Structure 1
């Protein structure tokens, strides 16, 4: 623990003071007809929770009223003051309060809940039961603060543990239950060797079923005996202003030991094999309260049902947020800059795709299979969004290259398609066409769209140019037809090359995205495996089953990724072979046309020679 504060009446002794003030999280509003009232959540407190990005650790301090419960909640913040302390007979805390500045401890954001005292004479019985159950469900550490005597009147609502399933439908095992810490206040007897054993024995004397239930439900619990603070009655009534040095040293030492033990064993709030962040915990809390408030609902809360609701909620929230991360980044980088080359486009996409993926993996929770399904669904969604930007850039690239082809055509070809500046012969036209193609090759924005743009442009203009040149006598009909055949072959070759380039890009991009996804998935699964290990489940067979399942899923995803890449490579090879074959066909057509042109030229020369020499014969 490293954070220190000068605010408030510090407890000191190595417990850091946490700045902030209490804020009410929940209050109970009684009904006029004496039926169960309504639990109301404070929106301001809920916003604080929802804004927490880290895993949350929820420490609920619960117990009998007027037993120093709120004071101990303050000490967890390293202070004597903070949560209001009462000096009257009736309890002071109403509802549940939390700190308005949850603090970081070992990567977890800690929320301490100071809960209304149970068994207050002015408290409705139904509310007392639901308060106990609610704190039990939402906390990751449940501190039960009771009298050190452990008599029938001191065990408070622990009797509810004898039939917990009456109020809660648990998931498999009891891993949803928090770590239990029992504080035996004003413990004046000789200290036993083992407080856990002592506590269970005392419970056995009062209620065997409670003792049995505690052992069955809480596989991880601890018991501490706190002696009397050692101060006089007036100081006890003013504990928020007392100085630590005025308290009994033994009491202070034990309090410090208890606080350190609580923090050294502090777990985050789990949901299956995932940790809850502020948003998922906030949703879980709201749903539990809504169920408790529903007059049509029985008293029982279904933990699996509530978990599933939270899991699906977080998936939707993660998808919406991460699509927004990707879209806002792409909008900023792409719009106003297109056209850009595809390598640059892919770099921009990969940057924001990676950021979106990172956040998505951090936000989603659930079982291994659910996590994989959510990731697959998110990838489908983000690819749809990507296609929007691909379309924008593709259209811009096509327009740029089409305009370039049009301008170069005007410069090299169109200006010579008239009687005043007509090409003299095919050779001159061929030279101009070659200059047109070379300039286009040098100035185009290299991409599949460049090939498509020039192909489309020549479809509209090349044949028309040949018609004009034939009509004006620059080309003979057979020469024009030969050029058309050659152009058609070139067009097919360009299309084949476009497909090869597109597939190469897709394979390269798919391989990169696949590796990123595999790395993030493996990291996510490793985190989930650690969470399973950390929960210290009683059901070791279930734990082993979950860990084995996660390992198998990671391996399956790796195999799927490898097979997908192999399939793409096979497609690539087929396209390359097809492109090479089309290139050969074009080359053969080109050679055939050259030979035909040469024969025609030779024939023409012989005919001219025969006509000029009178007696010469054509061999």
Structure 2
């Protein structure tokens, strides 16, 4: 199934019968079929805060991700919806709607932490959705930020160096959406933007108490981890009664200011959310994203901490091996389809160079982070080995053809030799003329396949002995004396 056929979301990250995180196979199959770059937008936040509605708007649909109209959290795990990107040709927009954080019925903060970390690791833009205002309480709910160093490692070998800049380079862009915002965007009696509102809320608070220090720590984490920050404030979309049927409300029934802000939010995501990259700027495709999810989930299941450096190494190994195999398969099938043995060696070389170029193009499209060209060199060596085998096969086929043509063309001469037709006066001249004519016939029949092996074999025929027709040098002299 391609992203263009996804009419509804599917679960990407689920929990198995043991309560452990796992990657849904159906979602993985969908991602495996997406060979183009992806823009991955994840939304996180407390449950029942309207996260799913924003994701449906980004998908261009009124419904899809489950909204729910009760106090119960509807989304479990991480759900995925892949749609063609509205403004970036050749890209797929992957929307990830996460399980609501802080569900009292769940009672598993560790589970919430891993859901948050996975959303962050998989996305190129992370949307944090909250209700009301950005205040100390709202920041306290982002306790996951202060734990990121414990749950996500950048390098395989940890040291005492400050990794803030490294996190800044690999983490996604950050968008804070404030829902049901009912205040005026003003400061010191002057209007401010939503972005200024966010940056003001992230300014450290004065004081040195433990509580203030903890709150300022979350502020510093947001500033240190996310180089690009954006904020949107949404008024209440409808009356409390209508909010219970949000999936059925038409745009005419929504608050105009909410609708306007929702449209601005979508346009920002479409135009500014970057493509997902990893490692040294390696572009992530849907296939890589699916394998990335499996690598991170497997790390969590094993009790390890997801490490970006190790993930890049694992993904490079998975994708580059597959890229080498697919490129080799293409080379082998194209070569066998393009040649018919025996073939002129020059033509074989030309075909080889053309098909080799195609194979390398296949590898380059599917390879991942092969910065030292280890796998590309491995591909080149494997292609050369296959080419040399084809050359040997071509040489053997040419030799077989040569022998077959020799037997056919020189059969009359062999018969005459056995009958001793040339052991009489003038025999040498007739033998010589016959040999010359048959040699012309031989060259004519194999001129399109002539190669070194032909010349070698033909040289044997004209040498001191010729096993094909049984003529010896002594017999040639005998013919020459019987002119």
106-115 vs 204-213, which moves further: 204-213
Q: For residue 475 of structure 2, what is the aligned residue in structure 1? A: 469
Closer/same/farther in 2, CA of residues 367 and 148 from structure 1, 3 Å limit: farther
- Of 98-107 and 352-361, deviating more is 98-107
Q: How far did 1:421 drift? A: 4.1
Query: Offset of 1:427 from its aligned partner?
Result: 4.3
Take 1:280 and 1:404, find their aligned partners in 2: how far apart are those partners?
A: 55
Query: 2:438 maps to what in 1?
Result: 436
Which piece of structure 1 moves more, 246-255 or 411-420?
Answer: 411-420
Cα distance between partner residues in 2 of 1:448 and 1:430: 25
Instruction: Tell me: CA distance 1:265–1:414, structure 2 relative to 1, closer, same or farther (3 Å).
Output: farther
Aligned to 2:209: none
- Higher RCO, Cα 8 Å, sep 6+: 2
Separation of aligned partners in 1, 2:476 and 2:294: 82
1:341 is aligned to 2:344: yes
In structure 2, the partner of 1:173 is 166
Structure 1 residues 221-240: aligned runs within 5 Å? 221-229=229-237, 231-240=238-247
Q: Which residue is 1:373 aligned to?
A: 374
RMSD over aligned Cα, in angstroms? 2.7
Aligned equivalents of 1:67, 1:30: Cα separation in 2: 28
**What CA distance in whole angstroms lies between the structure 1 residues aligned with 2:216 and 2:193?**
19
- Aligned match of 2:390: 389
Task: After TM superposition, give the deviation of residue 320 of structure 1 in Å.
Answer: 1.2
- Conservation of the 8 A alpha-carbon contact between 1:148 and 1:184: yes
Residue 26 of structure 1 aligns to a residue whose secondary structure is strand
Report the counterpart of residue 249 of structure 1 in structure 2.
256
Q: Partners of 2:7 and 2:269 in 1: how far apart?
A: 21
C-alpha separation in 1, matches of 2:139 and 2:150: 19
Pairing 1:325–2:308 present: no
TM alignment of 1:351-500, pairs within 5 A: 351-366=354-369, 368-369=371-372, 372-412=373-413, 415-416=416-417, 418-422=419-423, 424=426, 426-444=428-446, 445-458=449-462, 461=466, 464-467=470-473, 469=475, 473-475=478-480
Deviations 1:416-460 (A, max 9, x none): 454334473544444333333333322212222321332344455
1:148 Cα deviation from its structure 2 partner: 3.7
Provide TM-score, normalisation by structure 1.
Answer: 0.67
Q: How does 1:248-287 map to 2 (within 5 A)?
A: 248-272=255-279, 273-287=281-295
> What SS does the corresponding residue of 1:170 show, helix, strand or coil?
coil
The 3 A distance-change label for structure 1 pair 112 and 77 is: same
CA contact (8 A) 2:422 2:479 kept: no
* Distance apart, 1:402 and its partner CA: 2.1
Please give the alpha-carbon distance, in whole angstroms, between the structure 2 residues aligned to 1:157 and 1:332.
Answer: 62
What aligned pairs does 1:68-79 form with structure 2 within 5 A after superposition? 68-79=50-61
TM superposition shift of 1:26: 1.4
CA offset at residue 407 of structure 1? 2.4
Tell me by how many angstroms 1:406 deviates. Answer: 2.6
How far 1:313 sits from its partner (Å)?
A: 1.0
Q: CA deviation at 1:464?
A: 4.6
Distance 2:404 2:476 in 1: 26
CA distance in structure 2 between the partners assigned to 1:470 and 1:255 by the alignment: 100
1:29 is displaced (CA, Å) by: 4.5
Query: Deviation digits for residues 468-487 of structure 1, max 9, x if unmatched?
Result: 6258x3246xx9xxxxxxxx
Q: Give, in angstroms, the shift of residue 127 of structure 1.
A: 0.1
1:475 and 1:87 map into 2 onto residues whose CA distance is 111
- Deviation at residue 162 of structure 1 after TM alignment: 2.9
Shift, 1:95, TM fit: 0.8
Once the two structures are TM-superposed, the CA of residue 201 in structure 1 deviates from its matched residue by 2.6
Q: Does structure 2 retain, via aligned residues, the 8 Å contact 1:402–1:454?
A: no
Aligned position for 2:160: none
User: Which moves more between the two structures, 245-254 or 443-452?
Assistant: 443-452
After TM superposition, the structure 1 stretch with the greater mean CA deviation from structure 2, 420-429 or 69-78, is 420-429
Is 2:83–2:92's contact at 8 Å kept on the other side of the alignment? Answer: no
Task: Report the Cα offset of residue 308 of structure 1.
Answer: 0.5
CA shift in 2, pair 1:91/1:152, >3 Å: farther
Q: Which residue, out of 159, 183, 186, partners 1:189? A: 183
Instruction: Note the C-alpha offset of 1:382.
Output: 1.6
Q: Of the candidates 11, 26, 33, which is equivalent to residue 13 of structure 2?
A: 26
Structure 1 residues 339 and 163: CA distance shift in structure 2, 3 A: same
Q: Distance in 1 between matches of 2:386 and 2:242?
A: 65
Q: 142-151 vs 41-50, which deviates more?
A: 142-151
| Pairing 1:99–2:81 present | yes
Structure 1, unmatched stretches of 5+, are: 6-17, 32-36, 480-600, 602-619
- Write the distance in 2 (CA, Å) between the matches of 1:120 and 1:266: 29
Q: Report the secondary structure of 1:97's partner residue.
A: strand
Shift of residue 157, structure 1, vs aligned partner = 5.0
Q: Any idea what SS the aligned residue of 1:240 has?
A: helix
Gaps of 5+ in 2: 156-164, 187-191, 206-211
Alignment length, in residue pairs? Answer: 448
CA distance in 2, matches of 1:29, 1:19: 24
Q: What residue is the counterpart of 1:9 in the other structure? A: none
Return the TM-score normalized by structure 2.
0.85
Question: Matched residue of 2:273: which SS?
Answer: coil
Query: Which residue of structure 2 aligns with residue 211 of structure 1?
Result: 219
Q: How many Å apart are 1:278 and its aligned residue?
A: 2.0
Compute the displacement of 1:158 (Å).
2.6
Compute the displacement of 1:70 (Å). 0.4
Residues 364-416 of structure 1: per-residue CA shift (max 9 Å, x gap): 111532xx222111111122222333333222122112222232233446624
